[in-house]
Amino acid sequence: MLRYFIPILDPTVEDWSREARFLRWLTFLWLSLGLIALFSASYPVALAETGNGWYYVIRQTIWIWIGLQGFNLIVRSPLQYLIKLAPWCIFLLLGLILSTLVPGLGHEVYGATRWIKLGPVLIQPSELMKPFLVLQSAYIFGFWHRHSWRVRLQWVGIFGVILAAILLQPNLSTTALCGMSLWLIALASGIPMMYLTTTALGGLLTAFVSISLREYQRKRITAFLDPWADPLGNGYQLVQSLMAVGSGGTFGVGYGQSVQKLFYLPIQYTDFIFSVYAEEFGFVGSILLLLLLFTYTTFALRVALNCLHRVKRLIAIGVMVMMVGQALLNIGVATGALPTTGLPFPLWSYGGSSTLASLTLAALLIRVARESNEAEILPWKKTVNS
């Protein structure tokens, strides 16, 4: 049994590729900038609510420390073991997602029961599901031609149940992000367009039905189209966000000097943290942040293109879509380019589950880069069986 743990614990394997090293430091830079932005965005609210302006930063730092333990383990663990673990984690987290729909078990925040309360800690299973969705979908779609139709339909059905369960919480934004990620991973794997077109139409129809049945989602669409029609009601969040972004000008008002975070802009340290950042660092700071995301995307694509193994390549693509796609969606909401949703900014927004999921995804990309390095003696010993 010991031989199965040697590759994970072996401290002598330190031959990292340039892409892996750069992505690791880029992740730490992203994370560090996030803590700086979070401190400024959360300080007034934390001081008013708890008497300690450092409250949210301290709690976030604890989650980051926990996440980095898993991060270090993943970047040193062969992907074949992580993929074998993925189905079990998916079923566990699916059970937790379904439990949030049971009255009395799910914890409600802002009208949605997306959390489970474990003592003083809130866990959001749909966030923790993201890295395992990437792993399992990469395996299923990467070896699509090898799987029997029974296995294909079984896992497509499970993915559908996961998306439906998240949608019922309700959490349309996370459902859309996970659905798009699954679809893009399938597209990159080369699955016939007939299947992809059918699922895309099904997804759009599901989103249309959800918006039609839920009044608050319809109001968000209306507010997105004309937030100034109801600036103190449905359009309040977007109006305050646009005022924050617009107030930043070219170079911003200065770090810590945001006015909108002083109880004008709601949930400024989670969903609208970019708005505070844009106000304080302006257009130039926002462009630099976009350059960071562009650099991360470039290196993720480079890792994917250099990877010869189909499943590993799809894992890299899936991580890129989840991390960068979610960040761009968050920025789109803050700038009024997209309807208001509840997606956090990866590695920036306050939240333990989001932080753990983002660090896990980042570690998976670095692990792919390490295993793609010819100098590293951690080969894919055998194909994972279905």
Q: Does residue 245 have a pLDDT over 60?
A: yes
CB 200 within 8 A of CB 245: no
Angle at 285 between CA 283 and CA 288, to 5 degrees: 110
- For the chain, give the percent of residues with pLDDT over 70: 92
Q: Does residue 82 have a pLDDT over 50?
A: yes
Q: Determine which helix (DSSP H) or strand (DSSP E) holds 356, and give its type and residue range.
A: helix 352-371
Q: Does residue 381 have a pLDDT over 60?
A: no
Taking the C-alpha atoms of residue 229 and residue 335, their distance in angstroms, rounded to an integer, is 17
**What pLDDT is stored for residue 277 in this prediction?**
97
* Closest CA relative to residue 78, chosen from 377, 307, 316, 386: 377
Q: Give the model's confidence band at 156: pLDDT under 50 very low, under 70 low, under 90 confident, else very high.
A: very high
**What pLDDT is stored for residue 349 in this prediction?**
96
* Closest CA relative to residue 349, chosen from 41, 29, 27: 41
* Closest CA relative to residue 267, chosen from 258, 276, 254: 276
**What pLDDT is stored for residue 15 in this prediction?**
62
Q: Give the model's confidence band at 207: pLDDT under 50 very low, under 70 low, under 90 confident, else very high.
A: confident
**What pLDDT is stored for residue 11 in this prediction?**
40
Q: Determine which helix (DSSP H) or strand (DSSP E) holds 46, and give its type and residue range.
A: helix 18-50
Question: For residue range 280-333, what is the model confidence (pLDDT) as tens digits?
Answer: 999 999 999 999 999 999 999 999 999 989 999 999 999 999 999 999 999 999
**What pLDDT is stored for residue 373 in this prediction?**
62
Backbone angles phi, psi at 101, to 5 degrees: -85, -10
Taking the C-alpha atoms of residue 62 and residue 180, their distance in angstroms, rounded to an integer, is 31
Q: Give the model's confidence band at 376: pLDDT under 50 very low, under 70 low, under 90 confident, else very high.
A: very low
* Closest CA relative to residue 176, chosen from 184, 189, 167: 167
**What pLDDT is stored for residue 120 in this prediction?**
82
Stated pTM of the model? 0.91
Round to the nearest angstrom and report the end-to-end CA distance of the chain.
22
Half-sphere exposure of 90 (CA within 13 A, CB side): 21
Q: Is 239 exposed, middle or buried (0-12, 13-18, 19+ CB in 10 A)?
A: buried
Q: Give the model's confidence band at 111: pLDDT under 50 very low, under 70 low, under 90 confident, else very high.
A: low
**CB neighbour list of residue 299: distance below 8 Å, 6 or more residues apart:** 19, 22, 23, 26
**Average pLDDT of every residue of the chain:** 89
